[in-house]
């Protein structure tokens, strides 16, 4: 389209200029490790505490759940003295959830609370190999467990101090909001679990999808297959409509978390099935987070995946820093 009127031309240039200025910029901070070589950030609270998993320097390289706040990373512990643990979610009260292995190596869904670790699978004979993936501010948790009745996966819900698994076979739960709506999948179909009702989210033309996170406005993100299952793309689902968010040029992308304002973070390949980069979606625009780093803090980072975002825009994830996998937090630069 040609702009013939000079006033319209000036207006068009102003709009282009404003769009260019709207590109966000971030400073990145290395969260370090628990003493081993690697760490991986999984979630961040609105207060800025980051949780994830890291090699432990004194436990023969064992991975342990961590919490990091104000530059200090602490070991959240585990069910066994030398057993693996990991944290996947954290709420506004600083309570986290994830998994920990027992003395027999079985994986248990757990909550990391100030009073200690709460084993959601303790004294349960109806499910095994469980894990928690989502937690809201009321302390209600969701995840997945394998039933000892049918040996298939079931969505796990922990509420009021009691754990239960849904009767629906092949179900999983990955995220929960403060209205107790949670999302996941049932037999390879993304699903919204809304107070007893199961609402299929659909696909992007392919055969399968999965929901990863939901915000308090009921917006959902995850990944879904495109026609002929030629790839999986990140999506935003809102009020019954699933929107394809595209990729950074490759054949796959995935939404891992969604902020209060609808911003989405995750990852995308940059070409084919290679070049996995952390990404941010604002509105309909997908950004490579590597392109948004301030030159002063970018030094030797390659950002691979973003897994959490706050309402103020702080982002956490994992990248390689001087050749080692490290957890990071990125904070917007306010001009």
Look at residue 140 and tell me if it is in a domain.
yes
Burial of 282 (0-12, 13-18, 19+ CB in 10 A): middle
Give the count of domains, the chain: 2
Mean pLDDT by groups of 10 residues along the chain of 335 residues: 42 43 87 95 97 86 92 94 94 97 94 95 91 97 96 95 94 98 97 97 98 98 97 97 98 97 98 95 96 90 98 97 95 89
Task: Give the pLDDT score at 16.
Answer: 44
Strand, coil or helix: 129: strand
Hey, which residues does 278 pair with through a beta bridge?
Answer: 267
CA separation for the pair 13, 17 (Å, rounded): 6
> Quick one: 46 and 126 in the same domain?
yes
Scan for tokens 């995308």, then name that residue: 268
Are 262 and 221 contained in the same domain? yes
Residue 99 to residue 141: CA distance in whole angstroms: 12
166 & 214 share domain: no
- Asked if residue 42 and residue 93 are part of one domain, the reply reads yes
Give residue 198's pLDDT.
97
Residue 26 lies in a domain: no
Domain range for 296 is: 201-335
C-alpha 147/C-alpha 139 separation (Å) is 23
One domain, residues 161 and 78: yes
Q: Where is 286: in which H helix or E strand?
A: strand 285-288
**pLDDT recorded at residue 81:** 83
Q: How far apart are CA 15 and CA 292, in angstroms?
A: 21
86, 42: one domain: yes
Kindly state whether residues 66 and 134 are assigned to the same domain: yes
Domain boundary among 115, 141, 176: 176
Do 83 and 135 lie in one domain? The reply is yes
DSSP per-residue codes, 184-224:
EEETTEEEEEETTEEEE---SSSS-EEEEEE-TT--EEEEE
Please check whether residue 17 lies inside any domain of the structure: no
**pLDDT for the residue numbered 60:** 66
Please check whether residues 220 and 316 belong to one and the same domain: yes
Q: What integer pLDDT is reported at residue 9 of this predicted model?
A: 44
Pairing status of strand 189-194 against strand 171-176 = unpaired
Cα distance between the two ends of the chain: 33
Whether 186 is covered by a domain: the verdict is no
Within 8 A by CB and 6+ apart from 301, the residues are 28, 290, 293, 319, 320, 321, 328
How high is the pLDDT of residue 244?
98
Q: CA–CA distance from 86 to each of 75, 112, 119, 210, 225 (Å)?
A: 10, 10, 13, 22, 29
pLDDT at 161 (0 to 100) = 86
Total Cβ atoms within 10 A of residue 103: 10
H helix runs in 4-111, sequence order: 6-21
Residue pair 182/175 in contact (Cβ under 8 Å)? The answer is: yes
- Give the list of residues 6+ apart from residue 19 with CB closer than 8 angstroms, or none: none
Same domain for 230 and 170: no
**Together in a domain, 172 and 36:** yes
172 and 233 belong to one structural domain: no
């Amino acid at each position: 389209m040609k702009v013939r009127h000079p006033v319209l031309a000036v207006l068009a240039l102003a709009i282009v200029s404003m769009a260019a200025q709207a590109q966000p910029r971030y400073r990145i901070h290395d969260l370090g490790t628990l003493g081993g070589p690697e760490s991986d950030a999984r979630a961040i609270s609105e207060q800025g505490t980051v949780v994830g998993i890291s090699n432990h320097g004194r436990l023969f390289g064992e991975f342990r759940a961590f919490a990091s706040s104000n530059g200090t990373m602490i070991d959240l512990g585990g069910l066994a003295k030398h057993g693996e643990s990991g944290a996947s979610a954290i709420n506004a009260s600083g309570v986290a959830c994830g998994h920990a292995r027992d003395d027999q190596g079985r994986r248990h869904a757990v909550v990391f609370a100030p009073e200690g670790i709460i084993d959601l699978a303790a004294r349960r004979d109806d499910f095994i190999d469980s894990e928690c993936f989502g937690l809201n501010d009321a302390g209600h948790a969701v995840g997945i467990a394998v039933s000892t009745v049918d040996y298939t996966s079931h969505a796990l819900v922990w509420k009021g101090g009691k754990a239960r698994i849904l009767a629906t076979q092949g179900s999983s739960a990955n995220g929960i909001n403060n209205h107790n709506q949670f999302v996941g999948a049932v037999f390879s179909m993304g699903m919204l679990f809304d107070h007893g009702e199961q609402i299929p989210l659909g696909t992007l033309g392919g055969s399968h999808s999965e929901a990863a996170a939901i915000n308090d406005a009921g917006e959902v993100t995850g990944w879904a297959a495109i026609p002929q299952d030629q790839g999986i793309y990140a999506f935003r689902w809102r009020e019954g409509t699933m929107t394809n968010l595209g990729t950074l040029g490759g054949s796959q992308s995935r939404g891992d978390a969604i902020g209060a304002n609808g911003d989405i973070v995750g990852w995308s390949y940059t070409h084919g099935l290679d070049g996995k980069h952390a990404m941010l979606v604002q509105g309909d625009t997908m950004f490579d987070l590597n392109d948004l780093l301030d030159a002063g803090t970018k030094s030797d980072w390659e950002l691979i995946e973003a897994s959490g975002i706050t309402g103020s825009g702080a982002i956490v994830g994992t990248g390689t820093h001087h050749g080692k996998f490290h957890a990071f937090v990125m904070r917007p630069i306010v001009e």
